[in-house]
Amino acid sequence: MAGPVEIRGGIDLPATREQIELHTDDGLTLVGELATPANRPAVATLVTLHPLPTHGGFMDSHILRKAAGRLPALADLAVLRFNTRGTSSPRGTSGGSFGHGDAERADVAAAMAFVTERGLPDPWLVGWSFGTELAIKYGLDHPIHGAILLSPPLHRATDAELAAWADDERELVVLVPEHDDYLRPEEARTRFASVPNARLINVDGAKHLWVGESQTRRVLNEIVAAVNPAAGPLPETWAGEL
């Protein structure tokens, strides 16, 4: 290469990328991808949970796709993405049909079983919108280090399911956009009051979909700050191969 390039948009940095299948205990096959650092072991694992599939969410929703494209190289993180039941993407279509956040308990369990089978280190759940509901509802069922919630709407997770995190040592990091369509910072403070150990991060100027490179960088930096702080802040240019 002639020189450093700006890291933005759809740039994929070096990683080992593997198309995978997950198998649920109710007999479904879910399609996904595992991205790991190219020449060294991962220090932690992000198990990502995408936005609402009935409104266009899937494993390639842009923040999750960019996490997989950048964080194995920049932060030594493994990134697992998959389509929940009935969800389609260029990778393929997962079996079954949308379960309104209930049947997806088995999808989260299948992803975590894969993490265990592969011996992937120090797993964190990273949910976005609908994916935050799955993380809140089912994350405590599994040996995760913590959960990172991006734009939580708190439509499906009950108050009791949220409050259960208060009695657990695992971390809950919550990114709340200033101009979110569903839950804004003031209401988030009230809704998350039952979890006093949750770390709420109000992001000025942001919206639910985190559109724009500055918002992408903010989200990815906050993820790295929680999971592997030694790797932050993330560089904005890359001088190696793409």
- The one-digit pLDDT tens for each residue of the chain (242 residues) are 457 999 999 899 999 999 999 999 999 999 999 999 999 999 999 999 999 999 999 999 999 999 999 999 999 999 999 999 999 999 999 999 999 999 999 999 999 999 999 999 999 999 999 999 999 999 999 999 999 999 999 999 999 999 999 989 999 999 999 999 999 999 999 999 999 999 999 999 999 999 999 999 999 999 999 999 999 999 999 998 88
Residues in CB range of 40: below 8 A, 6 or more apart: 76
> Which DSSP helix (H) or strand (E) runs through 128?
strand 123-128
Beta strands 77-82 and 29-36 are antiparallel
Answer whether 20's CB lies under 8 Å from 91's CB: no
The CATH superfamily assigned to 20-229 is: Alpha/Beta hydrolase fold, catalytic domain (3.40.50.1820)
| Tokens of residue 168, six digits | 């657990």
Answer whether 199's CB lies under 8 Å from 174's CB: yes
| Tokens of residue 87, six digits | 């969800």
Answer whether 207's CB lies under 8 Å from 214's CB: no
**pTM for the whole structure:** 0.97
- HSE-up of residue 7 (Cα within 13 Å, Cβ side): 22
